[in-house]
Amino acid sequence: MVSSAEETCIECSNANKNLLLLTSQINKAIIRIKDESELFAEICRLTVEIGRNAVSWVGQPDKVNKNFNAIAQYNATDEDKFQLGSRKYDPNGPTATVIKTGKFYISNNFKQEVWDEPLRNYLWQRGFRSYLALPIRKYGIVEYTLNLYSANANFFSDEQIQFLEGISDDISYAIDNIENEIQKTVADNQLREMSSLLQRTESVTKTGSWKVNFESGISYWSDEAFKIYGMQPHGNKMSYIDWVTLIHPDDKKTVINIDNEASKTLSDTVKNYRIITQAGLVKFVQTHAYYELDENGKPIGMYGLVRDITAKNEMEEAFRQSEKNLRVMVDVIPQPIFLKDLSGNFIYANKSYCDLYGKSVAEMNQSNWLNMEVPNVDRDRIIKDDNDTINSGRTKKINDFPFKDHSGADRYFDVIKTPFQMPDKTMAILGVLNEITERKQQDIIKSELLNDLTIQNKNMQQCSYIISHNLRAPLANILGICNILTEAKTSTINTGQFINGLALSAEKLDNVIRDLSTIMQAKESNIQKDNIVFQQVVDDVKLSLMQVEGYSDTEIKCNFEELESISSIKSFVHSIFYNLISNSIKYCRPGVAPVLEITSRKTKNGYELIFTDNGQGIDLKKNQDKIFELYSRFDTSKDGTGVGLYIVKTQVEALNGQITVNSELDHGTTFIINIKQ
């Protein structure tokens, strides 16, 4: 018979053999299997079939949901899977302890454990008596636990645990290798994808890459770089001298100088130059070159890009030629055309537009409209029109735009402004001017002719009125008296009475003719002009009015300091002063001594005369439109013909001026005369 000691020894020997076999089989699985899930499943099988465990499973903590997931198992029932793998996370439980400490956890008597009583009861009822949890690491961090259950009490000896810890370390090492292989595969795939993408990108963009190692002298050119230079890809033996031989002779010196200067400062370079391929084809290329430095800042190589820009250069040259042709076409167009940005800077202006300012095209294209002298132009309005055009996105037309060119000539244009998008997406204003000066001048002439005809027609009506009323009345009296004297007997009439009537009628007739003559003369503006001193005119008028009633009480105040004299028609100026002064005397307020103030001053376009009195005034609400009409009288208590103010207005207009009146009853009257020169 075999003693109990011998039986124990035999059992230990068999256990050790199983552990060695288990280690061997697990190592073979580690070498053979390259998938983490498949490896875990095989380890669970081996630990049950060879390691004689009742159930084996690998758990992974779900820290978010506070439970463990069984990601691999062997020989576990569905209830086992639920009870063992889906229970809530117990921070004091065995698997949590393994993950927290990184050490194994062993239990040979569930009844004495303090963790999760329902789970302990289940394991006991299930027949499990021993339990071992081992850590499995990934990159040094416990990510999984290998959980072994046995139906035998005290199943896991110290020697077995030591073996199993070694197996756990081997599994962890294998997991790292698997993950490394996965990452390497991913990296290799990404590298291949990036390499393929780079090749496609280089081909599409006609851009090649290159790199040079200064120590080895070995250079690397991508396939596209060889293709750009018209060469077949070959070994990395292309030297700097070999590369220089491909540069166009006319560009070679410039390129070498750029490289020599860059080598002194180790600066990046961008070079545009021509090359000649082995087939004799001339290409334009652009090279970007960068120095590669070591940790001490010393150059160890260079790398960069080379791009075929032949098509781009040809397109740009074609565009430049097209733009040049377009400019020539636009320059010969008679309509002025300009292009400017919202800041007023001229982007382009054709010759016709530049001629308006007396500038060359080159000068205009360096100018800003806001800084140019443009007389009689509403700058704010133009700026507003420009902004409205851009903001609305619609074409704007400005009719009858007045403009004074560099020679001082007045010109008129119809202007069309439209939004214009520049290549950089900024907006500008495109303007086209259509000159209408001749048409405008014709319109002005027509307007003046129409105005003259209107005035002449009005004058004819007035003359007709004078002839039919004022002239015919005294003439009819004269004719009537003559008939009486002719037919009657001298002895039967009072001759003296009729002679007095004839004299009175003749005098009235003479006055009417004089008024008519004065009016006709007042309409003429081509009379010779003289130098006229205002104070002398006032003195002459005073002499003429000395016998007029009320003159002796009149005070005339003159202020001619700003403007003492003018060049004008003397008779007109004298008549204007005479009529306005005499009216101030004639229409003074009863009991108030007449006071008249006369002032002269310069204006922007000529001069101004102001006559202000303290007389009885005029009711402008009733008589505003009648003040300067012929034979208009507002105070019939005074002698007068109603011709004076009409003559004044006519003479002022003949002098290229206008007269206005401000007046209020019992507060005096002010006449303001503006004359343009």
Domain limits of the chain?
12-182, 206-314, 340-435, 441-521, 526-676
Q: Token pair of 22, please?
A: 């288990």
Which of helix, strand or coil describes residue 45?
Answer: helix
Mean pLDDT score, 239-258 = 90
Rounded to whole angstroms, the Cα distance separating 476 from 306 reads: 113
Per DSSP, helices labelled H in 269-416 are 310-332, 351-357, 361-364, 379-392
Rounded to whole angstroms, the Cα distance separating 283 from 313 reads: 10
What integer pLDDT is reported at residue 7 of this predicted model? 46
Position 469: which residue type? H
Q: Which residue has the higher pLDDT, 231 or 66?
A: 231
Mean pLDDT score, 173-198 = 80
Phi-psi region of 232 (alpha: psi -120 to 50; beta: other; left: phi over 0): beta
Look up tokens 């101004």; give the residue.
Answer: 608
pTM of the model: 0.39
Per DSSP, helices labelled H in 33-157 are 36-49, 78-85, 94-101, 117-126
Whether 557 has a pLDDT exceeding 80, the answer reads yes
Q: Token pair of 481, please?
A: 């008296």
148, β-bridge pairs: 56, 132
Q: Which of 46-55, 142-151, 354-363, 532-541 has the lowest mean pLDDT?
A: 354-363
Look up tokens 């291949």; give the residue.
Answer: 192
What integer pLDDT is reported at residue 81 of this predicted model? 81
Which of helix, strand or coil describes residue 533?
Answer: strand
Rounded to the nearest integer, the mean pLDDT of the chain is 82
The number of helices, as runs of H, and strands, as runs of E, in the chain is: 20, 22
Cβ-contact 466, 516 below 8 angstroms: yes
- Those residues whose C-beta lies under 8 Å from the C-beta of residue 50, and which sit 6 or more positions away, are 18, 21, 22, 25
- Is-same-fold flag (206-314; 340-435)? yes
Per DSSP, helices labelled H in 110-157 are 117-126
**455 pLDDT band (50/70/90 cuts)?**
low
pLDDT digits (tens, 9 = 90+) for 596-629: 999 999 998 899 999 999 988 888 887 777 777 7
Listed residue (5, 14, 6) closest to 157, CA to CA: 14
Q: Which residue has the higher pLDDT, 333 or 402?
A: 402
Position 315: which residue type? M
Q: Token pair of 289, please?
A: 């070159």
Mean pLDDT score, 120-148 = 91
- Those residues whose C-beta lies under 8 Å from the C-beta of residue 574, and which sit 6 or more positions away, are 537, 540, 541
88 phi, psi to nearest 5 deg: -65, 145
What integer pLDDT is reported at residue 230 of this predicted model? 86
Mean pLDDT score, 662-668 = 88
Cβ-contact 134, 165 below 8 angstroms: yes
Tabulate helix, strand, coil % of the chain (nearest 5). Answer: 50, 25, 25
Whether 644 has a pLDDT exceeding 70, the answer reads yes
If you ran DSSP here, which 8-state letter would residue 88 be given? B
CA angle 575, 579, 580 (to 5 degrees): 120
Per DSSP bridges, beta strands 55-62 and 141-150 are: antiparallel
pLDDT digits (tens, 9 = 90+) for 402-443: 888 888 888 898 989 999 888 778 888 888 989 888 888 888
Rounded to whole angstroms, the Cα distance separating 225 from 231 reads: 9
Whether 6 has a pLDDT exceeding 60, the answer reads no
Under CATH, which number does the domain 12-182 receive?
A: 3.30.450.40
Task: Report CA Rg, the chain.
Answer: 59
Listed residue (162, 116, 137, 130) closest to 58, CA to CA: 137
CB pairs under 8 A, 24+ apart, for 644-648?
644/579, 644/582, 644/583, 645/579, 645/583, 646/519, 647/518, 647/519, 647/522, 647/575, 647/579, 648/575, 648/576, 648/579, 648/580
From the centroid of its chain, how far is CA 268? 34
If you ran DSSP here, which 8-state letter would residue 466 be given? I
What integer pLDDT is reported at residue 599 of this predicted model? 94
CATH tag for 340-435 (out of 3.40.50.1010, 3.30.1950.10, 3.30.420.40, 3.30.450.20) = 3.30.450.20
What integer pLDDT is reported at residue 291 of this predicted model? 93
Q: Which of 134-148, 295-309, 526-540 has the lowest mean pLDDT?
A: 526-540
CATH tag for 206-314 (out of 3.30.450.20, 3.20.20.140, 3.40.50.261, 3.40.50.1970) = 3.30.450.20
What integer pLDDT is reported at residue 349 of this predicted model? 86
Under CATH, which number does the domain 441-521 receive?
A: 1.10.287
Cβ-contact 273, 310 below 8 angstroms: no
Whether 460 has a pLDDT exceeding 80, the answer reads no
What integer pLDDT is reported at residue 5 of this predicted model? 42
Q: Which of 6-10, 200-204, 613-617 has the lowest mean pLDDT?
A: 6-10
Whether 154 has a pLDDT exceeding 80, the answer reads yes
Q: How many residues does the chain have?
A: 677
If you ran DSSP here, which 8-state letter would residue 92 be given? T
Per DSSP, helices labelled H in 145-274 are 158-205, 223-228, 240-244, 249-265
Q: Which residue has the higher pLDDT, 435 or 238?
A: 435
What integer pLDDT is reported at residue 542 of this predicted model? 85
CATH tag for 526-676 (out of 3.30.830.10, 3.40.190.80, 3.30.565.10, 1.20.1260.10) = 3.30.565.10
